[in-house]
Amino acid sequence: MENNTVDIIGAGLAGTEAALRLAQRGIAVRLFEMRPLVQTDVHRSGNAAELVCSNSLKSTKPDSAAGMLKHELSCLGSNLISFANETRVAAGGALAVDRDLFSQRATDALEEHPLITRVNAEVVGLGGKGEVLVANGDESEAAPYAPADAVIVASGPLTSDRLAAYMQKLTGQDHLAFYDAAAPVVMADSLDRSKVFSQSRYEDGGGDYLNAPFDKEEYERFMEELVAADRVIKREFETADLFQACQPIEEIARRGFDAPRFGPLKPVGLTDPTTGRRPWAVVQLRAEDAHGQSFNLVGFQTNLTFPEQKRVFRMIPGLENAEFARYGVMHRNSFIDAPQMLSRTLQLSTEAAHALPVPIFVAGQFGGTEGYCEAIASGLYAALSVSAHLNGKDAPLLPEETAFGALIAYATNPETQDYQPMHVNFGIMKPFEKKIRNKRERYAAYASRGDEKLRGYVEALHKKGLIG
């Protein structure tokens, strides 16, 4: 494999993980990234692995699906999970990172590896030999690169219009997009600390989250203004297919005034020290950086206009004078119909893809997984699949009993219709023959079983020479 080259399109989480893994196996990588030459509405830099929605990689608890996935990624030597641990910030039982430090760490790792060449250019498609075509200034024709031995498309949810159009042709799809949203960030020193209190859910005093408590009247006034506020996208937004796990807060509120109280604003497990009672509703704020200088409004993805965000969100107790380091944004999230188009090894299996002389693999959110760790996982798995292909070997299939394997199996199951991206969760895992009624015991059993199956998978990778 020492003379092989792999082209990777996109330096997000999946592309970065794949590039580092392949280079560490002695495979040359050309990593194409359009930023900062072509910027998106939500990215701020040209750095690799930039997080744009939240800075949290979710739970680290070993008996949670998200925790299982992190454990599995660590056991498989994920570079990005290692970087996340190096740059983590306090977030209770979650793995949250200083997003700037995390992105810089990933960028430095790419730049320091002698087998990785980063190409700052917008990829617009592939040629007949499987060669990457990049935009050539204002000229109509694209500039080709020499063909590689394999291609990984990891262009992410904000895939450029031209590349998305090409992928539509390659996949035969009519539509690739739905809408996604990001939460605002406020400066810590602009918060009224006499109103917000520090506490993690179900813990006595203190904690890694700040909490802004509502009484009933404050909450009702806030809800009235929230549902009536001006939005960026109106009719188009209302008719779009929204990914349920990342719905804008105003859309949740439109289901009913109490809907947020049972979702992102739930007060369960929290006690306001001022009253000694559970608040009517609570907005939780999570540190965005290692020094706690800015905070993310947890669950407040939004499509409100910037002036409306400032006006309405300043109605939250303690945020009356909030300074916004970043307003929430709504953006397109593009993905393919993975179950109908990807093999279990994440290789694109459409007729047009098979006609190309090089194999095409798809990873990350564009490949139909949703979530940061999920993108990292698919990038790692794509790299393992490519390594096996270049070595003339069959890649061992991930056991469905692992969180990682359940995710890949779900995303590549051809029986799935009307596919929507999915976070890793226990609902997609292979059930036990004998049902375990106690939820906590059932989750612990999932984790134990998954760990055992993972050890077998790692052993199979060693035997194939795919992991060192």
User: Domain check: are 339 and 308 in the same one?
Assistant: no
User: Domain check: are 263 and 342 in the same one?
Assistant: no
Nearest residue to 150 via CA among 380, 396, 357: 357
Q: What is the maximum span of the chain, computed from C-alpha positions, in angstroms?
A: 69
User: Domain check: are 415 and 442 in the same one?
Assistant: yes
Q: Domain boundary residue among 271, 302, 331?
A: 331
pLDDT of residue 345: 95
| pTM of the complete model | 0.79
Report the CATH number at residue 443.
3.50.50.60
User: Domain check: are 37 and 163 in the same one?
Assistant: yes
Contacts of 20 (CB under 8 A, 6+ apart): 79, 80, 109, 110, 113, 116
pLDDT of residue 42: 72
pLDDT in tens, 338-367: 999 999 999 999 999 999 999 999 999 899
Q: Domain boundary residue among 307, 331, 355?
A: 331
**Cβ(363)–Cβ(342) below 8 Å:** no
Share of the chain above pLDDT 90, in %: 69
Report the CATH number at residue 256.
2.40.30.260
> Residue 235: is its pLDDT beyond 70?
no
**Cβ(429)–Cβ(65) below 8 Å:** yes
Structure tokens at 415: 């029986």
**Cβ(229)–Cβ(312) below 8 Å:** yes
User: Domain check: are 163 and 196 in the same one?
Assistant: no
pLDDT of residue 335: 87
Q: Tell me how many domains the chain contains.
A: 2
User: Domain check: are 319 and 344 in the same one?
Assistant: no
User: Domain check: are 412 and 296 in the same one?
Assistant: no
Q: Which residue has the tokens 């998106």?
A: 40
pLDDT of residue 238: 42
CA distances from 399 to 78, 342, 364, 455 (A): 18, 17, 19, 10
User: Domain check: are 327 and 365 in the same one?
Assistant: no
User: Domain check: are 147 and 249 in the same one?
Assistant: no
Strand order in the sheet with 123-126: 123-126, 132-134, 143-144
**Cβ(360)–Cβ(336) below 8 Å:** no
User: Domain check: are 349 and 317 in the same one?
Assistant: no
Q: Domain boundary residue among 331, 362, 384?
A: 331
Q: Point out the least confidently predicted range of 41-45, 65-69, 109-113, 147-151.
A: 41-45
User: Domain check: are 123 and 108 in the same one?
Assistant: yes
User: Domain check: are 204 and 323 in the same one?
Assistant: yes
Q: How far apart are CA 119 and CA 168, in angstroms?
A: 24
Question: Cα–Cα–Cα angle for 460, 462, 464, nearest 5°?
Answer: 70
Tell me the mean pLDDT in the region 460-468: 91
The DSSP element (H or E) to which 144 belongs, if any, is: strand 143-144
pLDDT of residue 333: 74
Domain membership of residue 364 as a residue range: 5-176+335-464
Tell me the mean pLDDT in the region 258-264: 94
